[in-house]
């Protein structure tokens, strides 16, 4: 079974400060990892994904994440927070399909608050 | 076009009503999904359709009935719901649905339907 754990259900950062969202995974097969963002009253939007091509993955809106197998982690970072980054962030894991469709398992989510 | 559309945006229904949620995508994706999301929680997978056939049912109560009329459309029929079924219902699609492959496909989500059951 696969799972992800997001450390910290809420993160508060000042505008211009580093954003760091933590995600640790558990998987018996090589994992594929995703970060999604959800703005209020909207659906989820993909920020970036790890598919084993490169351990440092760059995404949209200045976000990036690094896959560390030794630490079973896939933490999300952004050097300088912007007010528009206030949202809910979800880490998710999938693996080789045993059934049709891409079954994602989501972490509990981290709500980011950006202070002016 | 990477858009998944969902209608209606909001729905209020009584416990004896029958209603349907609609989802549409024109990206040529062959897998489509229904998720349920309660407030301050992650999405929970309900159903997956692959090539217009139901491939995953996450033990969802029968008062939720999915339907995939064609490769672009996904419906969720609702009947005799309970107040605890009130939630945001999200539809998603991804490119490749076949079993056995690498599940790296991005899922594209619609904006959701906010359902309230009275």
Answer yes or no: is pLDDT of A51 > 90.
no
Measure the CA–CA gap between A50 and B73, rounded to whole angstroms. 29
Q: How far apart are CA A84 and CA A104, in angstroms?
A: 26
Return the residue matching tokens 């809106």.
Answer: A61
Pick the residue from chain A with its C-alpha nearest to B42.
A108
Q: How many beta-carbon pairs under 8 angstroms link A with B?
A: 92
Six-digit token string for B87: 């939630």
pLDDT of B99 reads 58
Answer for the pair A52, B102: CB distance below 8 angstroms, yes or no: no
User: Sign of the C-alpha dihedral, residues A68, A73, A74, A78?
Assistant: negative
- The residue behind tokens 């558990």 is A26
Flag if A45 and B109 touch (Cβ within 8 Å). yes
Interface test with A, best of B27, B44, B104, B105 (most A CBs within 10 A): B104
Reported as a single tens digit per residue, the pLDDT across B38-80 is: 998 999 999 999 889 998 888 999 999 999 999 899 999 999 9
Position A30 confidence tier, pLDDT thresholds 50, 70, 90:
confident
Nearest residue of A to residue B30 by CA position?
Answer: A101
In this predicted structure, what is the pLDDT of residue A104?
A: 86
CB-based contact B104 A106, cutoff 8 Å: no
Report percent pLDDT > 70 for chain B.
93
From B25, B28, B27, B67, select the one nearest B46 (Cα to Cα): B67
Q: Is A46 on the interface with B (CB under 8 A)?
A: yes
Give the list of residues 6+ apart from residue B28 with CB closer than 8 angstroms, or none. Answer: B71, B95
Are B108 and A104 an interchain contact pair (Cβ–Cβ within 8 Å)?
Answer: no
A59-63 CB contacts, 8 Å cutoff, 24+ apart: A59/A35, A61/A37, A61/A85, A63/A19, A63/A35
Q: Does A20 touch chain B (CB under 8 A)?
A: no
């Amino acid at each position: 079974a696969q799972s992800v754990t997001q450390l910290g259900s809420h993160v508060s950062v000042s505008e211009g400060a580093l954003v760091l969202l933590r995600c640790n995974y558990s998987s018996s097969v090589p994992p594929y990892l995703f970060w999604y963002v959800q703005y209020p009253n909207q659906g989820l939007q993909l920020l970036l994904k790890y598919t084993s091509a490169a351990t440092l993955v760059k995404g949209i809106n200045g976000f990036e994440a690094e896959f560390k197998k030794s630490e079973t982690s896939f933490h999300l970072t952004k050097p300088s927070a912007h007010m528009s980054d206030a949202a809910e962030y979800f880490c998710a894991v999938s693996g080789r399909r045993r059934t049709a469709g891409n079954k994602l398992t989501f972490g509990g989510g981290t709500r980011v608050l950006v202070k002016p | 076009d990477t858009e998944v559309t969902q209608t209606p945006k909001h729905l209020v229904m009584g416990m004896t009503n029958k209603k349907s949620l609609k989802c549409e995508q024109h990206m040529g994706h062959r897998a489509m999904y229904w998720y349920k999301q309660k407030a301050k929680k992650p999405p929970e997978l309900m159903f997956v359709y692959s090539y217009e056939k139901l491939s995953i049912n996450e033990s969802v109560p029968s008062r939720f009935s999915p339907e995939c009329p064609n490769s672009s459309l996904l419906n969720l029929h609702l009947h005799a719901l309970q107040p605890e079924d009130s939630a945001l219902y999200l539809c998603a699609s991804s490119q490749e649905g076949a079993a056995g492959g690498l599940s790296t496909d991005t899922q594209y989500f619609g904006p959701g339907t906010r359902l309230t059951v009275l």
